[in-house]
Amino acid sequence: MTCKEAVFQVTGEDSWYLSVVDALEFARLQDQLSERVAPAPVAEEWVEPRCILIRKNRGRRLRETDAVPFFSGAVALRAGAAAAIASEIVECGEMLGVRLPPGEKEQLVVFHVTKVIDALDVARSEAERLPDGYVMRFLRMSFVASRLAGASLFRLPQSTRHHMMIFCTARFVEKWRAARLSGLAFKEIGVAE
């Protein structure tokens, strides 16, 4: 009997968000967190960026949540949310600081997912490819279940835009929901067999 498990893409909900104040810092962070072909720890070279929480958009107050997407491969978490799921994510990445304006009551950390699992079954997945074979996007993703045993949050090593996405197993979704946290959405993206 084949055991199937859902794999999810981690995305954000419609809520407040964290914005980098300086354009040069934004470019540096984009390079550190999003543009690399393979995710790698950045804590040793990390300089806390100056950020602000955007609470309104076009006069509409945005919903405050426990997590907000920050850059591809990273999520900003309220300190309490980070503590609530710390045991689940400790092996998946690194916590990085941000500088918020004086007087800001919120305490946030950035969680940068550095765990890479080569679990994508490319042969069984469907993709749109360029003539040279480069994957533009996956239409359906298949994963190798044995490679995801015990996994929670991870990224893929494939050199497509998918390497920047954060994926998770049902285990992480259950822990997040059990802690009654908000701000992350989980889109079923494929199945591990």
Q: pLDDT at position 102, please?
A: 95
When pLDDT is averaged across residues 119-132 and rounded to a whole number, the result is: 88
Q: pLDDT at position 161, please?
A: 56
Q: pLDDT at position 1, please?
A: 30
Distance of CA 136 to the CA centre of its chain: 20
Structural domains counted in the chain: 1
139-150 burial: b if 16+ Cβ within 10 Å, else e: eebbbebeebee
- pLDDT exceeds 90 at position 130: no
Encode 116-144 in three state secondary structure: ECCCECHHHCEEEECCCCCEEEEEEEEEC
Q: What span, in angstroms and rounded, lies between the C-alpha atoms of 162 and 73?
A: 10
Q: pLDDT at position 31, please?
A: 79
- pLDDT exceeds 80 at position 158: no
When pLDDT is averaged across residues 39-59 and rounded to a whole number, the result is: 90
Sheet containing 74-78, strands listed edge to edge, beginning at the edge strand earlier in sequence: 67-69, 74-78, 108-113, 93-97
Q: What span, in angstroms and rounded, lies between the C-alpha atoms of 3 and 181?
A: 28
When pLDDT is averaged across residues 101-130 and rounded to a whole number, the result is: 91
Report whether 75 contacts 111 (CB < 8 A): yes
- pLDDT exceeds 70 at position 162: no
When pLDDT is averaged across residues 127-138 and rounded to a whole number, the result is: 81
- Residue of 58, 172, 53, 45 lying closest to 103 (CA atoms): 53
Domain, as residue range, for 163: 5-120+129-192
When pLDDT is averaged across residues 134-154 and rounded to a whole number, the result is: 88
Q: What is the DSSP letter of 103?
A: T
The pTM of the whole model exceeds 0.95: no
Maximum alpha-carbon separation in the chain: 58
Which DSSP string do the residues of 29-64 spell out, in sequence order? HIIIIIS-SS----GGG--PPBEEEE-EETTEEPPP
- pLDDT exceeds 70 at position 135: yes
For residue range 70-99, what is the model confidence (pLDDT) as tens digits?
887 889 999 999 999 999 999 999 999 999
